[in-house]
């Protein structure tokens, strides 16, 4: 049989996917599985967004502009203005989800073999995008003891080589939930300016901040040409399946380059652009309502976790994830055991082992990520399961 | 200002795009521009497909399976059966347009610096996808004198090096409209088998065959593991803006590898998958109706062109394009002149210079591509313009 390419072989598989067969086995036994493993919100997509697609009079579903419909980009300017971010519509390229924007940004700014520094633990798919773009991720470790705060700038500077082209952050962070402070963002600004680096900023969770507000990389005044922003409507409006995101940059050369990638793939999804455009007309209190739901869940999860003996969970400032330390030997083994060998009152839970979010070998072994995308009643049930599981897990370590 | 990467600079711009400002100037002068330059059909998207989206009860627009909804893939098996192609639903990965499938296929089967042989002239965006994948396109020239038939296999064999990993064809062909015969497909099968090469086959225009039927690469019995099929609903159902395609392969290793790329980008567009699934239920005579429209246009275009002094246009067997030779010095200059300096009865036409479809320098200079995606009345008006233009064009060469 003809073999795939080396990169096809080296392309990382989803770190969560290997648990799916075990979840299916648990379900086939009649066990209810609480899914805390993926960032698929349970919040309804605003009905007005769905309705906009139903109301649209589409005769020929034609290619849109490669940068996305002009009407949508012009309305997005208003969304950003409200978020305290000044951009023009011709600095926005609508992409197929945030994913495509990240790949285009990596390709347009970095060559094969170039390096990008990313605080770990980080969103696992960044590794896949780096394989696609042929670039190398240099991890800089953040620690649960500091709540996953930005590592000191001196640590970043030790990692910079002639191959380093940028720093990539996710703020508020997936998987840690950490919200970078204004001071931390300005430290990143300093280092990017001093070392002539791009600052790639994935701000998918901008609205979901519970202690303070997020500082966008686009608000850093001294490095407008260094910033490449990755956006998505997936989490913001609970519209993950739409596949609409955006790449935003004020750097004209980068914009022109990304446009060539965008033209090659012709256009972003057409129906979903109609849906996304309708999101801009949601009432101003839309985010308050969803944020209040997530805040209450965050508080519940953190409180429940920290009450369990041997468990430590920092209180993250944003997104809808926590990474928690558990008294266990190995997160991968534990998460599989939860599905394969454990149940409590006919229930169990599916978690994401944190090892998949680190690239430094051995890190995160006793940590798991929890996505609080289920309601408080279910969270309580899931936490009951976890509490009980930790009592009986054979690999418990104190 | 921070500079883009080398590949960002080298990424080819759309060869048609540079003409767009000139078309806008012509329109601003009140001149009607007949658009024969892009493959955006004027045929309506079947209303039942649009209606399926309107009828769908979507509460949370969630991520779909990374390979696409199982229900859609299972129905696609029926579509392929009717087309004489035997595939299982777990050999199909739904992609974001055909474009994404081509990029994933290139990346999963070839490494940086590997080579793929493509008959030229070819679809210009293949060059962009090759830059993304970091692979090298080796062109093999087909000629207008033979109607752009497949070059002799002996010519292919001269180009094979240790870096050659595959041959990529588009059948029926964009931009030439050429329909590969069964014998030609079997020649490709021979060479792929003998040299252990992938056969990448873009069959976007499968149904649009006017003289004979298309032979799918998937119907070649001796190389099931060599074939990677690129599909799209864009032209088939006049749904270019949906961005739904597919990558299909019976090679399990390649399938698994492509799945990892698909998982990294999470899922294909959700609403558009509903639209695409509804296409499978269209009446059996759907393609007959659209095909009849295109056939009549093809005959008209070819007839009109060949009646013009100094013009030669072969009769292509499929798709909705012709490449025609004109008595001109330079296609790029001529196409710009048509928009900038010419009009006839208040009209002009926009064509695609064929040079953008060749990579061998100098080829296609006196050729243009015409997409017959407008109705016969407009085709006649456009051909009147072209006939008149060729009489007065200062760069006419006999």
Tell me which of A8, A40, A204, A267 to substitute to probe the interface with B (most B C-beta atoms closer than 10 Å): A8
Q: What is the distance between the alpha carbons of residues A314 and A310, in angstroms, rounded to a whole number? A: 13
Residue B269 and residue B350 in one domain: no
SS3 B65: coil
Structural domains counted in chain A: 2
Q: What is the DSSP letter of A209?
A: B
| A48 interfaces chain B, CB cutoff of 8 Å | no
Size of interface A-B (CB pairs under 8 A): 257
Q: What is the mean pLDDT of chain A?
A: 97
| Window 255-284 of A, Cβ < 8 Å to B | 256-258, 260-261, 263-272, 275
> Is the model's pLDDT at A237 over the cut of 90?
yes
pLDDT score for A343: 97
Whether residue B157 lies inside any domain: the answer is yes
Please report which confidence band the pLDDT of residue A87 belongs to, taking 50, 70 and 90 as the band edges.
very high
Residue of B nearest to A255 (CA): B4
pLDDT score for A18: 82
pLDDT score for A1: 86
Contact yes or no for B319/B177 (Cβ under 8 A)? yes
The first and second tokens of residue A110, run together, are 């970095």
Mean pLDDT of B160-180: 98
Phi-psi region of B362 (alpha: psi -120 to 50; beta: other; left: phi over 0): left
The first and second tokens of residue B60, run together, are 């949370």
pLDDT digits (tens, 9 = 90+) for B210-255: 999 999 999 999 999 999 999 999 999 999 999 999 999 999 999 9
pLDDT digits (tens, 9 = 90+) for B377-390: 999 999 999 999 99
Of A237, A262, A279, which residue constitutes the final position of a domain?
A279
* Beta carbons within 10 angstroms of residue B84's beta carbon: 12
Please report which confidence band the pLDDT of residue B39 belongs to, taking 50, 70 and 90 as the band edges.
confident
pLDDT score for A17: 79
Q: What is the distance between the alpha carbons of residues A344 and A384, in angstroms, rounded to a whole number? A: 8
Q: What is the distance between the alpha carbons of residues B53 and B48, in angstroms, rounded to a whole number? A: 9
Whether residue A98 lies inside any domain: the answer is yes
Tell me which of B5, B127, B226 to substitute to probe the interface with A (most A C-beta atoms closer than 10 Å): B5
Which of B100, B242, B270 shows the shortest C-beta gap to A61? Answer: B242
Provide the percentage of residues in chain A whose pLDDT is more than 70: 100
pLDDT score for A22: 94
pLDDT score for B100: 98
Q: What is the mean pLDDT of chain B?
A: 97
Of B254, B279, B304, which residue constitutes the final position of a domain?
B279
State pTM to two decimals: 0.97
pLDDT digits (tens, 9 = 90+) for B72-120: 999 999 999 999 999 999 999 999 999 999 999 999 999 999 999 999 9
pLDDT digits (tens, 9 = 90+) for B347-367: 999 999 999 999 999 999 999
Please report which confidence band the pLDDT of residue A256 belongs to, taking 50, 70 and 90 as the band edges.
very high
Residue A209 and residue A109 in one domain: yes
> Is the model's pLDDT at A15 over the cut of 90?
no
Residue B180 and residue B272 in one domain: yes
| B64 interfaces chain A, CB cutoff of 8 Å | yes
Could you tell me which of A211, A202, A245 has the C-alpha nearest to residue A106? A202
Whether residue B295 lies inside any domain: the answer is yes
> Is the model's pLDDT at A147 over the cut of 90?
yes
Contact yes or no for A330/A365 (Cβ under 8 A)? yes
Q: What is the DSSP letter of B368?
A: E
Mean pLDDT of A268-297: 96
pLDDT score for A330: 97
Using a CB-CB cut-off of 8 Å, the residues of chain B touching A42 are 60
Give the CA count within 13 Å in the CB-facing half-sphere of B302.
18
Q: Angle at the Cα of A247 (from A217 to A163), degrees rounded to 5?
A: 70
Residue of A nearest to B110 (CA): A5
Mean pLDDT of A124-144: 97
Full residue range of the structural domain in which residue A149 is found: 47-279
How many angstroms away from the CA of A103 is the closest CA of chain B?
10
Please report which confidence band the pLDDT of residue B17 belongs to, taking 50, 70 and 90 as the band edges.
confident
Of B240, B260, B279, which residue constitutes the final position of a domain?
B279
The first and second tokens of residue B171, run together, are 């059948």
Could you tell me which of A344, A348, A296, A302 has the C-alpha nearest to residue A325? A302
Residue A189 and residue A147 in one domain: yes
Mean pLDDT of A184-197: 98
Could you tell me which of B337, B348, B353, B352 has the C-alpha nearest to residue B387? B348
Whether residue B3 lies inside any domain: the answer is no
Q: What is the distance between the alpha carbons of residues B316 and B334, in angstroms, rounded to a whole number? A: 23
Contact yes or no for B128/B12 (Cβ under 8 A)? yes
């Amino acid at each position: 049989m003809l073999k795939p390419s080396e990169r096809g072989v080296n392309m990382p598989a989803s770190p969560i996917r290997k648990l799916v067969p075990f979840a299916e086995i648990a379900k086939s036994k009649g066990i209810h599985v609480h899914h805390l493993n993926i960032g698929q919100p349970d919040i309804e997509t605003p009905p007005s967004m769905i309705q906009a697609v139903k109301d649209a009079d589409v005769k020929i579903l034609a290619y849109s502009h490669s940068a996305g419909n002009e009407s949508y980009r012009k309305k997005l300017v208003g969304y950003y203005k409200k978020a305290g971010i000044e951009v023009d519509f011709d600095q926005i390229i609508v992409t197929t989800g945030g994913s495509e924007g990240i790949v285009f940004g990596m390709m347009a700014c970095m060559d094969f073999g170039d390096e990008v520094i990313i605080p770990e633990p980080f969103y696992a798919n960044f590794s896949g995008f780096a394989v696609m773009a042929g670039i190398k991720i240099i991890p800089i470790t953040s620690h649960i003891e500091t709540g996953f705060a930005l590592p000191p700038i001196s640590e970043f500077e030790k990692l910079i080589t002639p191959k380093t082209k940028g720093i990539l952050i996710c703020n508020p962070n997936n998987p840690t939930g950490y919200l970078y402070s204004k001071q931390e963002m300005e430290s990143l600004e300093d280092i990017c300016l001093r070392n002539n680096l791009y600052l790639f900023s994935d701000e998918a969770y901008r609205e979901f901040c519970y202690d303070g507000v997020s500082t966008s990389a686009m608000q850093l005044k001294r490095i407008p040409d260094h910033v490449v922003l990755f956006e998505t409507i997936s989490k913001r409006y609970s519209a993950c399946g739409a596949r609409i995101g955006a790449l935003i940059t004020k750097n004209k050369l980068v914009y022109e380059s990304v446009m060539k990638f965008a033209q090659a793939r012709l256009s972003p999804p057409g129906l979903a652009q109609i849906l996304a455009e309708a999101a801009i007309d949601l009432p101003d209190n839309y985010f308050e309502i969803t944020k209040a739901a997530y805040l209450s869940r965050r508080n519940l999860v953190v409180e429940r976790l920290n009450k369990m003996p041997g468990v430590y969970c920092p209180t993250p400032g944003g997104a809808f994830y926590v990474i928690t330390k558990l008294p266990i030997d190995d997160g991968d083994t534990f998460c599989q055991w939860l599905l394969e060998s454990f149940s409590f009152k006919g229930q169990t839970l599916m978690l994401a082992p944190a090892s998949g979010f680190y690239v430094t070998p051995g890190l995160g072994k006793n940590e798991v990520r929890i996505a609080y995308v289920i309601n408080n009643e279910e969270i309580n049930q899931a936490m009951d399961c976890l509490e009980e599981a930790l009592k009986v897990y054979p690999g418990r370590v104190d």
